[in-house]
Amino acid sequence: MNYLQFEKSLKDFPVFSIKDIKKQYPDFDSRRLVEWQQKGYIKKLRREYYCFNESKKDENFLFFAANKIYTPSYVSMESALAFYHFIPEGVFTTTSISTINIARFHTPVGEFSYNHVKSPLFFGYRIFQTNHLGIKIAEPEKVLLDYFYLRKINSPEEIKSLRLNEIQINEMVNFQTLAGYQKIFNSKTLDKRITLLKKMIHA
């Protein structure tokens, strides 16, 4: 098997693992991966995860990569806030929620950060379909809860500093859904922060 055959067979995988390769080529010699990295055909992202060097490294790619290289996880926090245009600025680190340990990975395509929550709080994400790929990302209601649960935002000044898009939040967030999700957290601190958030954005 040469590289062109390999690339053609995995072209639908923006990020692929050795396990993905073995499903198609059970006798694959992993030394070829080292060779193809040296030739600049592929990049190693983390341990057994790779991508093609010529893949388009846009937001969708980064979100898919975030889901893939550390599982289970879904995109949330600053990345999801920016995705929904709840905050004005772009985000340079792809941020996610996971039930495993807190982690951060520096890769050739960017930084990936993972915040830890307990299993009962790993919910409230949807599958965003793009280019035949499913990307797990927090729902609008859940990203607000994730963010205010994990970040120490306790004053009006700290909320103002986020420069939240009040109109966008009020248009996209179902506050009944948010209230239902909020109960699952069972956190008085979160309740206080969300009450303050609602006052600040006139929800």
Q: Which of 22-31, 146-155, 168-177 has the lowest mean pLDDT?
A: 22-31
The predicted structure's pLDDT at residue 90: 80
Q: Name the token pair of 79.
A: 């990345």
Residue 141 has which token pair? Answer: 């209601």
Answer yes or no: are the C-beta atoms of 83 and 142 closer than 8 Å.
no
Average pLDDT over residues 194-201: 95
Two tokens at 120?
A: 């009962």
* Digit-coded pLDDT (tens) for 34-62: 999 999 999 999 999 999 999 889 999 99
* Lookup result for tokens 């999801």: 80
Euclidean distance between CA atoms 34 and 42, whole angstroms: 9
Question: pLDDT digit string (tens) for 60-109?
Answer: 999 999 999 999 999 999 999 999 999 998 889 999 999 999 999 999 99
Tokens read off for 113: 């950060």
Helices vs strands, H then E, count in the chain: 10, 9
Q: Choose among 46, 55, 44: nearest CA to 7.
A: 55
Average pLDDT (136-158) is 97
- Nearest in space to 44 (alpha carbons), one of 29, 56, 33: 33
- 134 has pLDDT over 80: yes
